[in-house]
Amino acid sequence: MSFAEMDVDTIWMDGEFVDWNDAQIHVLTHGLHYGSGVFEGIRCYDTENGPAIFRWDEHLDRLYASAKPYDLDIDYSRKELTTATTELIRRQGLESCYVRPIAFYGYDSLGVSPAGCPTQVAIACWPWGTYLGEEALEEGVDVMISSWRKHASSQIPTNAKTTGLYVNSMLAGEEARRNGYVEAIVLNKEGNVAEGPGENVFLVRDGEIYTPGLAESILDGITRQTVITLARERGYTVHHNAAISRGELYTADELFFTGSAAEVTPIRTVDDTQIGTGTRGPVTEDLQSAFFDLVERRVDDHDEWFHYVNE
């Protein structure tokens, strides 16, 4: 669904609420030319206690941490960003939504150095359903190994959620879709599994769970952290610092993606090779159910992970 079809009308930008169509920047904005910005993608879920932002504090932690390597000073406090976000959700009457805070170098000069360019900050939120499709949650998705590799942390900080780095994700994802797949998996420079274009990857083998470690050039996803916690609470052995070869994907019992947008999505084929039985596996289903029971507040666990909009 395009933004034009959505019932949203307000964005918070540089300390003010502005009309959706008036949230504009100059064409010579530094961040537009050099990708010099950081952002977050966050889900707000509809619960019996009203809209609740999932793991808001952890997302804020990562937003400020992502800004550090770029000397990008976010002049707004955590409290100010929290107040702005909750008010933005209330103003638009959203019960569930996707929240996108972004900070970037603005307009002043256009050398590669951002010296003199102000930091601009904006927050938008809008309704966003299942990222890879409703049927994907049950049936799984078909993916391919991308010909594009994930950059190494010695080249660009992989632990920062940087706007410009997502050209790598765009190339991998569009390559997959051009070839008839739903999504891609990207390998790192060593040829091991890194992640999806916007997701972390989990592998299940003999009832144990494996996911690439931070040294494999991945972003430490908030949903990744959540699923690791939920899995261990359910008694699963989780290897969270795994190095996974390409070949191990084809012989896995189960594979699944995690992400704020993708949530928990099974993978049914890789390069046309069926994974397990070709359907959502029992471990994936168990963790997926645990995740949605949690975020939709059908269970009372981990209330500390929720920021209720109306409180």
Residue 298 is which amino acid?
Answer: R
**pLDDT for 5:** 80
**pLDDT for 134:** 78
Q: Quick one: which H or E segment has residue 200?
A: strand 200-205
Of 68, 79, 150, 161, which is the active-site residue? 161
| Residue 147 near residue 187, CB atoms below 8 Å | no
Is it the case that residue 131 has pLDDT exceeding 80?
no
The stretch 102-129 carries a mean pLDDT of: 96
pLDDT band at 2 (very low <50, low <70, confident <90, very high): confident
* Residues whose CB falls within 8 Å of the CB of residue 16, separated by 6 or more in sequence, listed in order: none
Distance, in Å, from the CA atom of 20 to the CA atom of 7, rounded to the nearest integer, reads 11
Q: Is 197 left (phi over 0), alpha (psi -120 to 50) or beta?
A: alpha
Q: Is 206 left (phi over 0), alpha (psi -120 to 50) or beta?
A: left
**pLDDT for 173:** 97
Distance, in Å, from the CA atom of 146 to the CA atom of 193, rounded to the nearest integer, reads 11
Q: What ranges in the chain are assigned the alpha helix state H?
A: 30-34, 56-67, 78-91, 136-139, 166-178, 222-233, 246-250, 282-295
Angle at the Cα of 210 from the Cα atoms of 142 and 307, rounded to 5 degrees: 85
- pLDDT > 90 fraction of the chain, expressed in percent and rounded: 92
**pLDDT for 129:** 82
pLDDT band at 244 (very low <50, low <70, confident <90, very high): very high
- Say whether 161 is catalytic: yes
| Residue 212 near residue 180, CB atoms below 8 Å | no
Distance, in Å, from the CA atom of 84 to the CA atom of 20, rounded to the nearest integer, reads 15
**pLDDT for 74:** 98
Q: Which residues pair with 256 in a beta bridge?
A: 202, 266
The stretch 81-90 carries a mean pLDDT of: 98
**pLDDT for 274:** 98
Please report, for residues 53, 63, 96, 258, 309, the alpha-carbon distance to residue 304 in angstroms, rounded to integers and kept in the order given: 11, 19, 19, 20, 14
Assigned token pair, 49: 């206690």
**pLDDT for 133:** 76
Is it the case that residue 1 has pLDDT exceeding 80?
no
The stretch 120-128 carries a mean pLDDT of: 96
Is it the case that residue 6 has pLDDT exceeding 90?
no
Distance, in Å, from the CA atom of 81 to the CA atom of 176, rounded to the nearest integer, reads 36
**pLDDT for 311:** 78
Kindly tell me the burial class for residue 286, based on how many C-beta atoms sit within 10 Å of its own C-beta (0-12, 13-18, 19 or more): middle
pLDDT band at 34 (very low <50, low <70, confident <90, very high): very high
Distance, in Å, from the CA atom of 76 to the CA atom of 121, rounded to the nearest integer, reads 8
The stretch 139-149 carries a mean pLDDT of: 97
Residue pLDDT, tens place only, 178-220: 999 999 999 999 999 999 999 999 999 999 999 999 999 999 9
